[in-house]
Amino acid sequence: MNLEKFNFLVVDDVPAMCQITANQLRALGALDVQTASNGADALRLLQSRPIDLVLSDWNMPLMDGLELLRHIRADEKLAGIPMVMVTAEADRDRIAQAITSGVSDLLVKPYTRQRLEDKIAGALSRRVRVPGAAPAAASAAAAARPQSQAAAPQPTLLVVDDTPENLRLIADLFEGQYRVRVAHNGPKALAMCSSDNPPDLVLLDVMMPGMDGFEVAQRMREHPGSAHIPIIFVTALTDEAARRRGLTLGAVDFVSKPVDPDVLQLRVNNFMRYIAVHLQRQAEYDALLETARLREDVERMLRHDIKGPLAGVLGLAQQLAQQLANPSAAQTAADHAQQAQLIAATAQQALDTVKLSADLFMIETGTFQLVAEPLDLSAALHKVAHAVRAACAGSNVAITVDAPAGAGHALGDATLCQAILHNLVKNACEAAAAVPGGQVAIKLHDGGPLVVTIDNSGAVPAAMRERFFERYASFGKQGGSGIGTYSARLLAEAQGGSLAMSTDDGRNSTTLTVTLPRAVAPA
């Protein structure tokens, strides 16, 4: 992401850390980087000039990062600014408070330049979170997710020594435990440490030609990308002055040469446990935030999709009430009963929408359990076509259905299948309405798995084809949530099926293909 066009605010009460973070942003391409020493100063600056993203430490005097976040989200003019919280916080309840308060992302100290860039890019590209996500529900869902989704990456160990035998000995000692990289001189080690993929721990020889270990450490501390990397010096120097110099440069330990493999393993493993905990904490916080975002997405879709059925229930109920209050000879009890049945059917659609939102959240978090039953797909397609025709009555789009009765029963969840088909046919009708003489052709293909094709006039724009099933992907649709086709594919796959899209520019058409498992039709 090009950061030149964005204005940043870095908030940290430690001047050195504030400067390091500002330098990291400038190294990533940022041109306008403002700084503040606490939340109160930051809030005054936010109210005086435009800022596109706030990168704030948590623990600060006068006003900490959490208080600053809450002030930003409560201010109508500032509420849309994304905020990334930088923290070493280990209390999950406090992290839950930040998530509830609308934090855009969490960055655990110490962090790499690459991780900083990823968090900033994500915060700038995503919709700003609003306060209100339930932390308990988010935590429970995150805990229920498969462990692989929140697994921390394997730590990386860099071994620096000018002697090939020492490199081989140490590399072989830790092979399999960590990702081991080697460098035979200082400049190569510096290049690795300041790269976009730096190591988590450096075993650094002191006595090397050209650039010794002390100079390497000094240069590492001067570079924002490697300033945080812990160093264990491996040296034959035993005098106190050398040890003091190493500690000044940020060494976390010393190992004497000749190296005792058992002692070296113990010291590296002890420190790697701390690094593993740090990496796992970042992974856990990422999982908590992702779960909160998923819940917000599902709730946003629920609010979007439930408006239609509720408005229909209200309109039909008001109409029926007027008819009953002012009876007409042309209206019979059967007419009233039919209208009441229509109200009941529309209310059921609203209830199904609520159930669907809960199912979507469980699918996203890996906790969904499918209860598959035979579903008359032909009847479902005719029902969907009838409903969409009524909803798109003014569009003059012709909707045809080729699905003979008894063509086959799908094996799945009726509510999920109905949601997939209704969503796709409605979208197809809206796309066809933009084409003169637009048509939507629905066809059920009887086979091993059952296949439904939905062909509509109007080809998906080229810029959207690769992103068609991505979350938030939308093109030229006023009020579109951008999660309709994404959720439809998710629902199909949750039932053992699939959803694909193809376009034909020659015919100016789009075809969606839904595949669902086949069930034996009930007698």
Nearest residue to 205 (alpha-carbon basis) of 231, 241, 179, 169: 231
**How far is 344 from 316, CA to CA, in rounded Å?**
10
Nearest residue to 372 (alpha-carbon basis) of 242, 520, 246, 272: 520
Nearest residue to 457 (alpha-carbon basis) of 426, 429, 482, 477: 429
Nearest residue to 289 (alpha-carbon basis) of 68, 56, 84: 84
**How far is 421 from 514, CA to CA, in rounded Å?**
9
First to last CA, the chain: 59
pLDDT tens for the 523 residues of the chain, in order: 789 999 999 999 988 888 888 988 998 899 999 999 999 999 999 999 999 999 999 989 889 999 999 999 999 999 999 999 998 766 778 888 899 899 999 998 778 778 888 999 999 988 888 786 544 444 444 444 443 344 556 889 999 999 998 899 888 999 888 999 999 999 999 999 888 788 989 999 998 998 999 999 999 888 766 877 889 998 887 778 888 888 888 788 888 888 888 889 888 988 888 777 777 788 888 888 887 877 777 777 667 677 767 877 888 888 888 888 887 767 778 878 888 887 887 787 677 777 777 777 888 777 888 889 999 999 999 988 988 887 777 788 999 999 988 777 999 998 889 888 988 998 899 899 999 999 999 999 987 799 999 999 999 999 888 888 886 555 545 444 445 788 889 889 999 999 999 999 999 999 999 999 998 755 4
> How many residues are recorded in the chain?
523
Question: Looking at this protein, which amino acid is placed at residue 106?
Answer: L
Question: Looking at this protein, which amino acid is placed at residue 71?
Answer: H
Residues 6+ apart with CB under 8 A from 30: 3, 4, 6, 8
What are the b/e assignments for 333-366, b being 16+ CB within 10 Å?
Answer: eeeeeebeeebeebbebbebbeebbebbbbbbbe
**How far is 120 from 137, CA to CA, in rounded Å?**
26
Say what the pTM is: 0.58
**CA distances for 79 relative to 9, 53, 89, 102, angstroms:** 15, 11, 24, 9
Q: Is 19 helix (H, G, I), strand (E, B) or coil?
A: helix
CA angle 42, 100, 40 (to 5 degrees): 15
pLDDT at 508: 95
Provide DSSP, 254-318: EEESSP-HHHHHHHHHHHHHHHHHHHHHHHHHHHHHHHHHHHHHHHHHHHHHHHHHHHHHHHHHH
Number of CB atoms found within 10 A of residue 490's CB? 20
**CA distances for 397 relative to 434, 437, 441, angstroms:** 9, 7, 10
pLDDT at 355: 74
Nearest residue to 460 (alpha-carbon basis) of 471, 445, 472, 473: 473
CB 283 within 8 A of CB 106: no
Q: How many CA atoms lie within 13 A of 18 on its CB side?
A: 18
Q: Is 440 helix (H, G, I), strand (E, B) or coil?
A: strand
What are the percentages of helix, strand and coil residues in the chain, rounded to 5? 50, 20, 35
Provide DSSP, 105-158: EEEESS--HHHHHHHHHHHHHSPPPPS---HHHHHHHHHHS-GGGGPPPPPEEE
Q: Is 183 helix (H, G, I), strand (E, B) or coil?
A: strand
CB 254 within 8 A of CB 233: yes
**How far is 24 from 20, CA to CA, in rounded Å?**
6
Nearest residue to 376 (alpha-carbon basis) of 322, 419, 418, 431: 418
Residues 6+ apart with CB under 8 A from 468: 460, 485, 501
Q: In which order are the strands placed within the sheet that holds 518-519?
A: 373-376, 409-412, 518-519
